[in-house]
Structures are given as structure tokens and as C-alpha cells.
């Protein structure tokens, strides 16, 4: 049983964000379950997915001039740096950092989704931003 399971409580109401978050939870569960031989490739896949996940949210924030974008984007950058450091160490044969980060990612994700991502999703819904087409509706003025 993975540490983090998808539940409807994690839904933020923005379909594009929820779909990516659901994938993240599934990929993390696979990493958690991985034997040593599969750990580095599965971790690499999670890191690449997370890069795309964070890049998309950073784009939504930039496109809608979200007031808290700097703090949120900086947080993404810090987390990705740590995940990539883990990957480098894993590629050198030291799997302990990936195992450690895997344990830390479940509570981190829940916390991040509950705070920064919730605030972003609320903002996107409020301004009517549609991630699927990357634009706010015309205001007519």
C-alpha cells in the first residue's frame, strides 16, 4: 500500500492540475514500490514528470499574473533541485537519497497541494483561466 493514495480530497477543481497531480501520486507509488534495479529509471521518470508539472503551474501563474507566483515558483525550483540531486546520486549508485526523498515526497505533496496549489487553483477559477487553451476569456472591454 503506497504512503500516498489519490483521494477526492486532493482535487482542486482545475482539471489540468488534478490530472497531473493524479499522475504524480501514481508515479510516486511506483517509485516507492520499486526494487533497486528499477529505482533510478522510475525516479528519473518522476523527476521529468515533476519538471513538466511545475513548468505548467509556473506558466499558469505567469499568464494570470498570480500575486504569489514568485514564492510558489521558487518553491518548485528548490524541490526540483533536490529531486535532481537525488537522481545524480542514484546514477552514481547511491540509492539511499532517492529512498529518503521518496518518503519525504508524500507529506510534501499533500502540504504543497493543500496550500500553494490550492491558492493557485482558486485564483485560476476566479479569473476564468482555462489551462487547456492557456487563456483567460475575453473581457469584452
**Interface residues toward Fe ion, by CB under 5 A:** 57, 117
Grid cell 526540483 is found at 80
Minimal distance, residue 38 CB to Fe ion, in Å:
25
Cα separation, 141 vs 134, whole angstroms:
19
Separation of alpha carbons 41 and 130, rounded Å: 33
Shortest CB 117 distance to Fe ion, Å: 4
Rank residues 3 and 89 by Cβ distance to Fe ion and give the closer one: 3
Q: Which residue is nearest to Fe ion (CB)?
A: 117
Q: Which is nearer to Fe ion, 98 or 116 (CB)?
A: 116
From CA 128, how far away is CA 39, in angstroms rounded? 40
Residue 95 CB, shortest distance to Fe ion, in Å, is 26
Of 12 and 40, the one with the shorter C-beta distance to Fe ion is: 12
Q: Is 135 helix (H, G, I), strand (E, B) or coil?
A: strand
Amino acid at each position: 500500500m503506497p504512503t500516498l493514495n489519490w483521494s477526492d480530497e486532493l482535487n482542486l477543481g482545475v482539471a489540468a492540475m488534478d490530472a497531473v497531480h493524479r499522475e504524480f501520486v501514481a508515479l510516486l507509488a511506483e517509485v516507492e514500490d520499486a526494487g533497486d534495479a528499477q529505482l533510478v529509471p522510475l525516479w528519473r521518470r518522476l523527476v521529468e514528470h515533476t519538471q513538466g508539472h511545475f513548468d505548467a503551474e509556473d506558466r499558469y501563474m505567469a499568464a494570470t499574473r498570480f500575486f504569489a507566483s514568485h514564492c510558489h515558483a521558487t518553491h518548485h525550483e528548490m524541490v526540483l533541485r533536490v529531486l535532481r540531486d537525488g537522481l545524480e546520486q542514484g546514477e552514481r549508485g547511491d540509492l539511499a537519497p532517492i529512498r529518503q526523498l521518496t518518503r519525504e515526497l508524500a507529506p510534501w505533496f499533500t502540504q504543497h497541494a493543500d496550500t500553494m496549489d490550492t491558492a493557485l487553483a482558486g485564483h485560476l477559477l476566479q479569473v476564468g483561466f482555462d489551462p487547456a487553451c492557456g487563456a483567460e476569456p475575453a473581457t469584452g472591454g
